[in-house]
Structure formats: C-alpha cells, structure tokens
Structure 1
Amino acid sequence: MKKDFMFTSESVTAGHPDKLCDQISDAILDRCLQQNPKSRAIVESAVSAAILFLAARFDADLSIDFTTIAREVIDSVGYHRTSFSGKNCSILSSLDEMSPENNFDESQLSDAEIEQITARDQATVFGFACDQTPVLMPIPIWLAHQLARRLHEVQLQNILPYLSPDGKTLVGVEYQNREPKRIHSITILASQNDPAAASLKQLRDDIRQTVVEPVFAEQTIQPDRDTRIYINPEGLLSPGGPEVHAGLTGRKNAIDTYGEYAKHSGAALSGKDPTRIDRVGAYAARYAAKNVVAANLARECEVQLSYSLGLSRPVSIQVETFATGKISEEEIARRLEQHFEFRLAGIIKQLQLRSRPSLSEDGFFRKLAAYGHVGRSDLDLPWEMTDRVDCLQD
C-alpha cells in the first residue's frame, strides 16, 4: 500500500451533458414517487446537439409528463441558447409500462416480512469514508466538487454572464504517509457561449478571482507558490454542452461517489427507484463506512456488500481499513452486520427513501444528481448521519 503519492479527482458542473442527463432521469423519478411513493421507475436519458432521448419503464398507474420535466431541467441548469434550450430541444422517447403488482409498502412490513423481500438484482456495491475532511470524504473529490459548484454558480448568477453551463474541475493532492499535505494542481475548464465575449486572459483572471480564491479561502490546505493552476490550458472553449459532446445517464460514477480514491460499483446511481439494490445498497454501504470512521474504529474504511438474486441479505460483507483500523476488520464487519440494516426493504424503510421526494416540491433524488450522492453537507441525507457510533463502539 502506497503511503506517499499524488492523487487527482475530477468533478463537473450541473450543466455538463452527463450530469444534465442524470438530473433529468432523477427529476422524472422524483415526480413518479411524488405521485405514488410505492411506484417503480427506471429512467435513462441521452443528449446530443439539440436532441434528447428518454427511455423509461414505469408503473402503469402513473401519469407523468416526461418531456415537460426534461425541458424544465434543461432551462434550470442555464441552457438558453437558440441552438439548445428547454424550449427548442427535440425530445424523443421510448416509454414502457410495467405492472405494479409486485410493489410493496415497506412501512407496513414486519421484520419477518422484510426478510422475504429479496434483491431484484445481482450487485456488488461499495461505501467509503476517511478522516480527510469534516464530511469524511477524500479531499480531492471534495475540493473538485466545491470548485465545480462555484463555477456553475457564477454562471447562473450572472457574475460571469459570458460563461455557458458546461464545465469541469480537477484537483491534485500530494499525500505523505496517506495524509493530504499540499495542493499539487488545480485545473478548471470553463466554456462560454460566445468566444468573443471574453479573452483567454480575462477568462483566466475572472475564474481565479470568482471561483478559485473564494473556494480556497476557508480550506485547511491552501494552494502554495508551487501549486500549478491551469485554467483552460488549451484555450477558449465554445460553446460547450451537448453541441460539443454527448451526455448519458450514469456515466459519471466516480464523480457521484469518491472520485476514484475508493472503489465504486459499475452500475449507475441516477434514474433508479429505491427498489434497486445497486442504488440504495451504495447508500447503505456509505452509511456504514462513515459511522466506522466517526466511531474512531479506523481512519479509512471501505465497506463492500455483495447481493445475489433471491436473497434478502448480502451474501458477503467485507471491510477494508487500509492498515488504519483500531480493531480487526473481521470484528468491524461483525458489528456492522449486527447493527446496520442491509436488506433491501429494510434499507428503504430505515432511510425513508420512497417518501422523501414528497417532502419538497423540487424533489429529492434530483438534488443528488450533481456534485455527489455522498459527502453532501448541503443536504440532509440519512446515509450521512453518524448516529450509530455508540453501537459500533460498544
């Protein structure tokens, strides 16, 4: 295991085509669950140039205006061009109804009945936590998300009105003895609607002043004189977005999770209702790993859950602490199995995943579709709670 190394993680803005597709898929899912919390839906989106394609399977008793939701999302992330906007984007759809007869209401199930609800997919999911940041996330992806969010804010708030919604950020961090020591590099790619709206020098100066400096103003690790800062190193990017590169739901799994600092499932998170174990299992694994680190049982913890069709419980619960554990990994796994709910219906019930979209008009799952499904300090996520610390310590 390496102790001294440099690691980079990237993030993208909410206007990146892949994240646009994730938000559209999850916004439709939110609407389905708002209409019927027990409904099921699988939604995938693809966008290119001025065309959006929607593929969805959903319960037959739902009545959802898919295209209107998609257009609202496109407008909300800031696409108002004559070539691409919520108003003029062509939308093609392939919609397939499925029977709602296999649905269940987990809130009414006894423990014995929860045991009878089996995984509907075969999946291996991962959760990770470490003590590098207050939210127990790896610092490269944490900083990359802060930069991406700020880059999109300065565009939406017209602080830099010439920017377009599409952008990317990358942060490199040097580690010594597996602890972050300095910022090695910062890279930001910002696109603009009109290449003549701002020169490359103006763009670089503006991004430094409005994005980089505010984000790092309160960080514990600051860029130093040797930190390499690259802003559009290959020149101006125009116009960005779907007209330049296509987008697809579920193509940014590393950005959705741990920035590749830790393992993540190959399955997409967005666009899937809570009965999909490859989505909710990843949340349960993060919940477990975060509580292990918060309980001071390890400084780093990766939890692996493997599910098989026809079984309610994971067939394997594995823990890796990267030589930072205070007790054995086998003992941590035993405590997790004792104190955490890893059954499909149990996860949904405990985290109240099907009722959450109805608690807010703007939904729940769509908010996860940009800037990470885990490690969010801006959202009240049940899998980010550290309320099981006492159980694990005992």
Structure 2
Amino acid sequence: MRTDYLFTSESVSEGHPDKVSDQISDAIVDLFLSKDPEARVACETLTTTDRVVLAGEVRGKGMIDTEGNWEPGAFEEIANVVRNVVKDIGYEQTGFHWKNLKFENHLHPQSADIAQGVDSAGNKDEGAGDQGIMFGYASDETDDLMPATLDYSHKILHKMAADRHSGAAPFLEPDAKSQVTLRYRNGKPVAATAIVVSTQHAVDYCEPWQKDGKSGGDTAKYAELREYVKGAIASVIPAELLSDETVYHINPTGKFEIGGPDGDAGLTGRKIIVDTYGGAAPHGGGAFSGKDPTKVDRSAAYVTRYIAKNIVAAGLARMCTIQVSYAIGVSEPLSLYVDTSGTGTVPDEKIEAAIWAVAKARLGGLTPRGIRLGLGLNKPIYRRSAAYGHFGRTTEGDYFPWERTDLVDDLKAAIN
C-alpha cells in the first residue's frame, strides 16, 4: 500500500437530474412494496426539460391483477408519486415544475420467462434476478466506516439541502455537486487539499458579468453564496484537515442558474460510484435504484456492505472488500471473495469461512431470499437511499438495516 497519496471522491445532490431519476424510480419501488411485499419492480426513469418518462417491468398485488392488467386508479397513483417526488425536491422552475411537467408511464407486467427463473416453486428456492458480481466495502477512516472523501462529499450537500429546505439558505436551488480531495498518509486522511462545490442558485447570486451590453450578477450576493458554502464545508470537514493551503473551487464557472433536468437529462443508475464508495472500492456495474430486493444487484451489494462493515467494526481488519457472484435463477452464490488489503488481523481465508458460517446462522445464507428476509428488505425503505449514498447512513434507523453492526460478536466467535 502507498503511504502518501491524494484521493478524490464526488457526490451530487438530490436535485441533480440523475438523482431525480433515481428517487422517482425508488419511490415507485416503495409504492409497489407498500401494497405487496413480494412485488417485483424494475423501473427506469428519464427526466428532461418539463418531462418525466417511466419504463420497465413490474408485478404486484394492488397495482396489477392476476391477468396482468392495471388495477383501477393505479396509473393515477403512479403519476401522483412522480409529481410528489419532484415537489419534495423543490422543483418549481421554468423548465421543470412538479405541477406542469409532462408525464409518460411505459411500465408493463414482468416477463413470464424472468418470473419463472426467479420465483420459488416446489423444491426450487427463489433464484437470483440476474447474473452478476457485487461488492461491499468498509474502512475505518470515519465513524461511519466509509471512505472519508465520499463521506464528506455527501455530508456537504446534505447540509446545503437541509438549509435550502428550512429557508436558512434561500438563495440555493436543488441541483448541486461536490468533490473532496484528501491527502492520505499511512492510510489515514491528514489534509484536505482541494474542495469543489457547484450549486445552482437564485438569480444574481453569480459572478458579475457583462455581455452584449447586458450585465448580471451581484458582487455582494456572489460573496454571500461563497461564504455560505465555505461555512457548510467547515461544518462537515474536521478543522484539522482544513488549512490556508486548502484550495476551494466554489461555482468555478461563475454562474449556475439553469440546472436539474432542464439543464441536463437525467437517467436512473448513472451515479453508481456516488451511490457506493466514491471509487475507493470496486463496483460490479449494476445500479440499485428502481429495483426490488429480489434483484441481487441491490440486495447482495447491501449484504456485502453489511458484512464488510461488521468485519471492520469487529477489529478483524482496518479495511475490507467483499465480492460475491450469482447466476440468474440460481439461489446460492457462485463465489465469495475477501480482501483486507493487508490490514487483517487473521488470514482472509479464515474471514471467508467465518462469513459463510455467520451468514447461514443469522440470515439463512447468502441466497436472495435469505438476504432480503434476514435484513428485512421487503419494505418501502428505498427512496431515502436514492440521494446522498446508500451506505454510511448510520443515524437513519430501519431505512438502512445493512448499516447495523450486530454481527460483530458472531464473527469474532466464528474466527476463534
């Protein structure tokens, strides 16, 4: 391992067009699960200027009948969910307004071929919803056992969004991005070298400009915005990491008034590194949002985070990466791999053996059914996960059951 290096992660706010799409898709998952815990949902969302489009495959009591037809009122209920998500985020702008946007629903019943492979029947257990590889990760860099660069990037934007919603920062608009670069020595962050925040803002809170005889921006308002953002950063990043040498790039283009889906189209699943570990760990490639928990892209990524976090919390390693793999329609994982990057207190193969034992005892195994029932994933808990990261959310209770550290004693016992 290198002993002295720079590392960077980024985050995007709830108003970023891709995150608007993720939140809509997960709100649809929550809607179906609220009516039927065994619902099947694969929902993709496109957002663009004054338009939201849904597509994908679904199945669930209370929404679709046994003949594959929509229940009365189901389309209207979906449309209301979509508009309420956009309203909650705060979009009431020319170009993207919750009340005025055009909505298209192209969801349709789930393929019978997929259902046959995934559903349990007779002696056949519930199978994985697709083939693929999934990763989980934890590190002792922060109290949340997350990479510090990503943890701080998320929390800066979360703080700004809270201030926007409360009215404490009325000049902020929903779309924003952050990026944090830290210097690491011996695996620990020692200094913040560069911080980037670009936030959509109210009219005139930009760098003064003049073009074709027209001018805009207000020097005092621009300074107010910059000082506010610096204060938000300072409220999140530990003071010992900030110094006179920290470089700040706050709205470096000078102006950011047009944002959200009006400024750039959004799609579900385009922010998978923001959703996971900020580049500090591998990613299997599958997105989470819009998928019910039978899809191992989601549930297996959650359970591997759960186990990796407990391994680090147990003191068995300072960092831990776990990989699992599945075949569509097959219940048992094909492989399990652990890498503690030389920080483990016991050999990685012993940790692998302990995982198999603990997962079987506590979850009923690493099958799709074992994961979702063991972690209680068949609940409408997903919209909240779709902005500011799926991991490291330790203060939000039942919405993030994979963040518990209740396997520590079991793992220690299995190792010994």
TM-score normalised per structure 1: 0.91
Q: CA deviation at 1:278?
A: 1.0
Question: What's the counterpart of residue 6 of structure 2?
Answer: 6
Question: What's the counterpart of residue 344 of structure 1?
Answer: 368
Q: 1:242-269 deviations in whole A, cap 9, x for unaligned?
A: 1111111011001111011111221110
Question: What's the counterpart of residue 49 of structure 1?
Answer: 49
The structure 2 residue matched to 1:242, chosen from 257, 261, 266, is 261
Unaligned runs of 5+ in 1: 358-363
The structure 2 residue matched to 1:313, chosen from 306, 326, 332, is 332
The structure 2 residue matched to 1:232, chosen from 235, 251, 254, is 251
Q: Which amino acid aligns with 2:279?
A: E
Question: What's the counterpart of residue 88 of structure 2?
Answer: 76
Q: CA deviation at 1:158?
A: 2.1
Distance 1:365 1:197, change over 3 A: farther
Kindly report which structure 2 residues correspond to 1:181-196, keeping only aligned pairs within 5 A, or say none: 181-195=190-204
**Rounded Cα–Cα distance in structure 1 between residues aligned with 2:107 and 2:412:** 49
Asked whether the 8 Å contact 2:144–2:394 carries over to 1, the reply is: yes
Asked whether the 8 Å contact 2:128–2:328 carries over to 1, the reply is: yes
Q: 1:269-324 deviations in whole A, cap 9, x for unaligned?
A: 00001110111000010011011111111100000001112421111100011110
Asked whether the 8 Å contact 2:138–2:305 carries over to 1, the reply is: yes
The structure 2 residue matched to 1:368, chosen from 385, 389, 394, is 385
Q: CA deviation at 1:99?
A: 7.0
**Rounded Cα–Cα distance in structure 1 between residues aligned with 2:15 and 2:298:** 23
Q: Which amino acid aligns with 1:81?
A: Q
Question: What's the counterpart of residue 266 of structure 1?
Answer: 285
Kindly report which structure 2 residues correspond to 1:214-233, keeping only aligned pairs within 5 A, or say none: 214-216=235-237, 219=238, 221-233=240-252
Question: What's the counterpart of residue 210 of structure 2?
Answer: none
Question: What's the counterpart of residue 378 of structure 1?
Answer: 395
Q: 1:122-143 deviations in whole A, cap 9, x for unaligned?
A: 0100000010111111100000
Q: CA deviation at 1:35?
A: 1.0
Asked whether the 8 Å contact 1:82–1:88 carries over to 2, the reply is: no
Kindly report which structure 2 residues correspond to 1:112-131, keeping only aligned pairs within 5 A, or say none: 116-131=125-140
Asked whether the 8 Å contact 2:119–2:126 carries over to 1, the reply is: no
**Rounded Cα–Cα distance in structure 2 between residues aligned with 1:245 and 1:3:** 39
Q: Which amino acid aligns with 1:343?
A: T
SS at match of 2:177: strand
**Rounded Cα–Cα distance in structure 1 between residues aligned with 2:34 and 2:116:** 19
Asked whether the 8 Å contact 1:193–1:239 carries over to 2, the reply is: no
**Rounded Cα–Cα distance in structure 2 between residues aligned with 1:389 and 1:221:** 31
Q: CA deviation at 1:184?
A: 1.4
Asked whether the 8 Å contact 1:49–1:242 carries over to 2, the reply is: yes
Question: What's the counterpart of residue 224 of structure 2?
Answer: 202
SS at match of 1:116: coil
Question: What's the counterpart of residue 15 of structure 1?
Answer: 15
Asked whether the 8 Å contact 1:38–1:105 carries over to 2, the reply is: no
Q: Which amino acid aligns with 1:191?
A: Q
Question: What's the counterpart of residue 377 of structure 2?
Answer: 353
Q: Which amino acid aligns with 2:388?
A: Y
Q: 1:72-127 deviations in whole A, cap 9, x for unaligned?
A: 00010011113311101111221212379769999xx9xx96x7222121010000
Question: What's the counterpart of residue 38 of structure 2?
Answer: 38
**Rounded Cα–Cα distance in structure 1 between residues aligned with 2:247 and 2:263:** 27
**Rounded Cα–Cα distance in structure 2 between residues aligned with 1:170 and 1:338:** 39
Question: What's the counterpart of residue 140 of structure 1?
Answer: 149
Q: Which amino acid aligns with 1:194?
A: V
Distance 1:220 1:304, change over 3 A: farther
Q: Which amino acid aligns with 2:234?
A: E
The structure 1 residue matched to 2:182, chosen from 150, 170, 173, is 173
Same amino acid, percent of matched pairs: 38
**Rounded Cα–Cα distance in structure 2 between residues aligned with 1:9 and 1:148:** 13
The structure 2 residue matched to 1:164, chosen from 173, 185, 189, is 173
Provide the aligned length of Structure 1 versus Structure 2: 379
Asked whether the 8 Å contact 1:50–1:243 carries over to 2, the reply is: yes
Q: CA deviation at 1:200?
A: 2.8
**Rounded Cα–Cα distance in structure 2 between residues aligned with 1:204 and 1:347:** 45
Q: CA deviation at 1:205?
A: 1.9
Asked whether the 8 Å contact 1:269–1:279 carries over to 2, the reply is: yes
Residue 213 in 1 paired to residue 237 in 2? no
Asked whether the 8 Å contact 1:194–1:239 carries over to 2, the reply is: no
Q: CA deviation at 1:393?
A: 1.1
Q: 1:18-41 deviations in whole A, cap 9, x for unaligned?
A: 111000000111010101111111
* Coordinate RMSD, CA, aligned: 2.1
Unaligned runs of 5+ in 2: 205-215, 360-364
Q: 1:372-394 deviations in whole A, cap 9, x for unaligned?
A: 11110231222111111112112
